[in-house]
Amino acid sequence: MNATSIPSLVQLRTGTLMPIRRVLLAYLNEAKYESLRMLRAPGFSIPFLVLPVPVYLFFGVMLAAPAIVKNPGVANYLFSGFSVFAVMGPALFGVGCALALEREAGFLKLKRALPTPSGAYLLAKMSMAMVFAALAMVTLLVAALLVGKVSLSGAQLLIMTIVMVIGALPFAAIGLFIGAHVSGSAAPALGNVIFLPMLWLSGLFIPLPKFLERWAVIWPAFHLNQVALGTAGVSEFSFVAPAISAAVLVGVTVLFGGLAIHRLARTG
Amino acid sequence: MPNYDRLHALDAVRAFALLLGVIFHAGFSFIPGMIPGIWAINDSSPSAAISVLLFTSHIFRMSLFFFVAGFFARMMFQRKGARGFWRDRSKRILVPLLAGWVVIFPTLAVVWIWGLTKTFGGTLPAPPADMPPSPPGAFPLTHLWFLYYLLVLYVVVLVCRTAILALDRNGSLRRLADAVVRGSVRTGAAAVLLALPVSLFLYLRTDWIVWFGIPTPDHSVIPEWASLVGYGTALAFGWLVHRQVDLLEVWRKLWPIHLAGALTATALCLSIAGVAPAFVPAAPGPKKLGFALCYSLAIWCWSFAIIGFAMRFLSRANETVRYVADASYWIYLVHLPIVAALQVTVGHLPWHWSIKFAVILVASMALLLVSYRYLVRSTFIGQVLNGRRYPRSASGPPAPADARPGGANLEAVAPVPSPDDGRSSMATLDGVHKRYGRTVALAGLDLDVRRGELLAVLGPNGAGKSTAISLWLGLLEPDAGTVGLLGGSPLAVDNRRHVGVMMQEVGLTPELRVRELIDLTASYYSEPLPTRQTLELTRIEALADRPYAKLSAGQKRQVQFALAICGRPSLLFLDEPSVGLDVEARETMWRTIREMIDQGCTIVLTTHYLEEAEALADRVAVLASGRLIASGTVAQVRSLVSRTQISCASTLTLEEVRSWPDVVGVKRETKRLQITATDAEAVVRRLLAADDHVRDLEVRQANLAEAFTELTKEAA
């Protein structure tokens, strides 16, 4: 190949601004490749995309069968709860662990030296969490419709799915916070310290003892569940106004995202 | 004490508190469960979300305002003295209170009658027959009560000040107060200490409706204790903080912690008070006390978080912020009738609350901003309210006289180095110092990269080469000195869009393929090379579809080079580019580099190898210990660093050899002499002449590391 056929290797005009269209393309590309690489990382994609379905089938369908017979509405509640579970994992771990590892490996150094549009890297991580949430939701939906005994209308399921996908954001923000503060080896541990208690203490799957029930409100997972149930009109299990729960989630996103950005801006 | 000539951040905070008041009132008709008649209208689409927003904002907005007011009050008092202070306050507080009330109250009354008529289906309800007689002092202050309280509190504070001056002649009391303020702010205890008095007075109120926090004292000219204490502590604390302005810096750092505290306390309060207000006085007991404490804590956590946030992000002069800050006083004074009229207008429409709320906010703000622009800013009203009258200008917010030039409009100052000036600077380091802990990386480095040249930066490990490049890339900031990139700052993305970079020890996404990495990196640039051409040019077509993780070290370097050039940069930084490359790959890289130089690209290349510099560079800069120790053409520097090592067994003394010309260093290792010389032949001739018993003579070219060591010693 003869290199001289290339028009020019150097663009000498400086001081011009990049067209908005190209800036948007940069954001899109960053998001696209972040999702793509995570899908290609089997250690990540398999547990988070494949695992929620068997877990749901075992705990949410088989073991819960007697409870569902007693009160058919429980099936809907369990579907919502396991959806939250499916959405939380990739957001917390996919964002948190990846960010911690990448900081250690010096990824951010190059990103910061290159003219990466501001925030593109973090936005890409957040959108990756939403893409994974959407994929996980599709697998769960299929399982729920086939064997889950849910009695929700198509519109209700659609609303819940949309809420869940957007609801990945607060957990992604917590992931960013973890990834921005701890090392790659500590991130999974810290992630689990948050993930596991939240999973159970939010009352997503099992009825909580009374004294724990009132504390469920401190967990974002509880609020995501409430937003999903509330907006879909499952009034039987709607305990907190969805607008309030949504406000809590926005607050969590802003707080943890802000703290992560603050930290990354200082240390890279 | 730092010189805070104009506290832009606090101007912004005050404006924020006032504008939040507009939002608060705009949302009032949407609060669920309001008793009809309290507000002009109850909207037909109540909203829990707005209710939460209002509850939260109402916690702190007035306290925050009174804090800033106290701060600026002392500032004015220091500048103008007592007489000047009162003259200014009469004009800017008393006159708006009197004149404003005369206009606002009747207007509000009309809007209220209209709204209540609508609320009660067309007829105003008759006042209840058993209405109690008005208590003494009853007077509808409307939302202008805050001006009245400001005046009252000014009097209180100045009387206290006089008393303290009389009692505390040697200043020990004031020193103590300053120490307490400083200590409590630094430890974060200030929020707790300030919360105590107000929570006590809130708790003591028997008719306290908890949802509305500190009672709004708008119906009597006799001050209410809870309000007086709540806002009085705020104003007095602002006054005290102005005695030690540098305390604002503490909040600049601690704002996230205060925000976390504020959110927690607010959530707790909300869980007790509920989304909709309960119009029954709280029963005394631990719950009421807990709420009072938590609420007061939230007041101060919010206030400090917002002040800190503003200090962090709004400290610079900014025309827009300044304009809004100027407008906010007028906006707050006159907003209520407009907002209420809009609420009444949309109140019974069958729209979603979010749409109505947005309509009210947008329409009222538009009206208020337009009225400020045309009725206030350049008229006597502006003179009264803001103490100045801006000249009328043809378009947009005129620049305030004291704004620093170039503060806001980045596009206007974007660097455009003139292309015909062949030797202008592309990147500069000016007296730059940088240290990492105790290690000095750069010690006052001056370095200038000229347009179109290839500058090779040579130096031993730890000389500061990579630090210099990191500074130019905006990865580091200098401890002292200035770093210039394309006539601007390296921190500006727009400048870096013309820069390509290849660094040492970077990671790239292992799962992505080479083609994808190039495609992604190219998308950061305005006019990049097509990915295919980048691959061809750097001869890595064969690697295009392989994941980065599967490449060898040398192949990874080739890919990194491809990423460096894919954006068609006019300035290229290459940090040790050829480390780990085989000869063929290095030749390919050098060819591309030469071609880019021919097309006008400017390149900075760091290297350990003189040959690399020789093959490519126009100019060489030699760094050692963070300083520039030599700079010139390759030939000049080669002669400077080209040294010969002569080794032999000899009985000559070190002192004698050291005194010879052309000898730059000599030392004895076991029984051998190690001589570093610039002219080997001359030294060997002299050596043989001086000592007949010279044995085992060895002569070899010194490597670059040895040459650097000698150069560094000479430079020191």
pLDDT tens for B480-524 read 889 999 888 888 888 888 999 999 888 899 999 999 999 999 999
On whether residue B661 sits in a domain, the answer given is yes
Is there a contact between B52 and A243 if contact means CB atoms under 8 Å apart?
A: yes
Q: Which residues contact A54 (CB under 8 A, 6 or more apart)?
A: none
Name the residue in chain B with its Cα closest to that of A101.
B507
Name the residue in chain B with its Cα closest to that of A31.
B520
On whether residue B377 sits in a domain, the answer given is yes
Taking 50 as the threshold, does the pLDDT of residue B4 lie above it?
no
Q: Are residues B76 and B188 in the same domain?
A: yes
Average pLDDT taken over every residue of chain B: 86
Distance, in Å, from the CA atom of B364 to the CA atom of B357, rounded to the nearest integer, reads: 11
Which amino acid, residue B162? T
| pLDDT score recorded for residue A91 | 93
Of B386, B409, B439, the domain-final residue: B386
Is there a contact between B48 and A109 if contact means CB atoms under 8 Å apart?
A: no
Whether B252 and chain A come into contact, CB under 8 Å, resolves to: no
On whether residue B465 sits in a domain, the answer given is yes
Is there a contact between A117 and B601 if contact means CB atoms under 8 Å apart?
A: no
Is there a contact between A33 and B47 if contact means CB atoms under 8 Å apart?
A: no
Is there a contact between B523 and A41 if contact means CB atoms under 8 Å apart?
A: no
On whether residue B656 sits in a domain, the answer given is yes
Question: Helix A73-89 to helix A220-231 angle, to the nearest 10 degrees?
Answer: 130
SS3 (DSSP) at A18? coil
| pLDDT score recorded for residue B495 | 84
Distance, in Å, from the CA atom of A70 to the CA atom of A72, rounded to the nearest integer, reads: 6
Q: Quote the DSSP letter at residue B487.
A: T
Task: Report the side by side order of strands in the sheet with B454-458.
Answer: B499-502, B571-575, B602-607, B454-458, B619-624, B627-632
- Residues within 8 A of A (CB atoms), B 61-80 only: none
Measured between its terminal Cα atoms, the distance across chain B in Å is 39
Record the pTM.
Answer: 0.56
Q: Which residues of B touch A255 (CB under 8 A)?
A: 259-260, 263
Q: Which residues of A touch B507 (CB under 8 A)?
A: 102, 105-107, 110
Tell me the ipTM for this assembly: 0.89
On whether residue B406 sits in a domain, the answer given is no
Per-residue pLDDT tens digits for B664-702: 888 888 778 888 888 888 889 888 888 888 888 888 877
- State phi, psi for B488 to the nearest 5 degrees: -130, -150
Q: Indicate the range of A229-238, B254-263, B396-405 predicted with least confidence.
A: B396-405
Structural domain of B213: 8-124+138-386
Is there a contact between A15 and B416 if contact means CB atoms under 8 Å apart?
A: yes
On whether residue B407 sits in a domain, the answer given is no
**CA angle, residues B461, B462, B465, in degrees to nearest 5:** 90
Which amino acid, residue A177? F
On whether residue B129 sits in a domain, the answer given is no
- Residues within 8 A of B (CB atoms), A 30-89 only: 30, 33, 36-38, 40-41
Is there a contact between B599 and A118 if contact means CB atoms under 8 Å apart?
A: no
Across B598-617, average pLDDT? 86
Q: Which residues of B touch A99 (CB under 8 A)?
A: none
On whether residue B17 sits in a domain, the answer given is yes
| pLDDT score recorded for residue B130 | 67
Taking 60 as the threshold, does the pLDDT of residue B412 lie above it?
no
For chain A, residues with pLDDT lower than 70 are: 1-7, 14-16, 266-268
Residue B594's CATH number: 3.40.50.300
Is there a contact between B599 and A9 if contact means CB atoms under 8 Å apart?
A: yes
Beta bridge partners of B674: B647, B667
**Candidate from A15, A26, A268 with C-beta closest to B415:** A15
For chain B, the domain total comes to 3
Across B212-239, average pLDDT? 91
- Residues within 8 A of A (CB atoms), B 470-529 only: 470, 473-475, 486, 493-499, 501, 503, 505-509, 511-512, 516, 519-521, 523-527, 529
Q: Are residues B626 and B646 in the same domain?
A: no
Q: Are residues B468 and B603 in the same domain?
A: yes
Taking 80 as the threshold, does the pLDDT of residue B638 lie above it?
no
Q: Are residues B243 and B348 in the same domain?
A: yes
Whether B537 and chain A come into contact, CB under 8 Å, resolves to: yes
Is residue B127 packed enough to be buried (19+ CB in 10 Å), middle (13-18) or exposed (0-12)? exposed
Q: Are residues B494 and B347 in the same domain?
A: no
Taking 60 as the threshold, does the pLDDT of residue B561 lie above it?
yes
Distance, in Å, from the CA atom of A247 to the CA atom of B263, rounded to the nearest integer, reads: 11
Q: Which residues of B touch A106 (CB under 8 A)?
A: 505-507
Taking 50 as the threshold, does the pLDDT of residue B414 lie above it?
no
pLDDT class for B437, splitting at 50, 70, 90?
Answer: confident
| pLDDT score recorded for residue B127 | 66
Taking 70 as the threshold, does the pLDDT of residue B403 lie above it?
no
Q: Which residues of B touch A243 (CB under 8 A)?
A: 47-49, 52
Cα B466 to its chain centre, rounded Å, is 27
Residue B654's CATH number: 3.30.70
Q: Are residues B185 and B319 in the same domain?
A: yes
| pLDDT score recorded for residue B400 | 38
Q: Are residues B230 and B356 in the same domain?
A: yes
Per-residue pLDDT tens digits for B355-393: 999 999 999 999 999 999 888 888 888 888 887 777 775
| pLDDT score recorded for residue B132 | 67
> What length does chain B have?
716
Q: Are residues B29 and B178 in the same domain?
A: yes
Per-residue pLDDT tens digits for B268-289: 999 888 888 888 888 888 888 9
Distance, in Å, from the CA atom of B585 to the CA atom of B376, rounded to the nearest integer, reads: 70
Instruction: Looking at the complex, report in whole angstroms how far the Cα of residue A109 sits from the nearest Cα belonging to chain B.
Output: 7
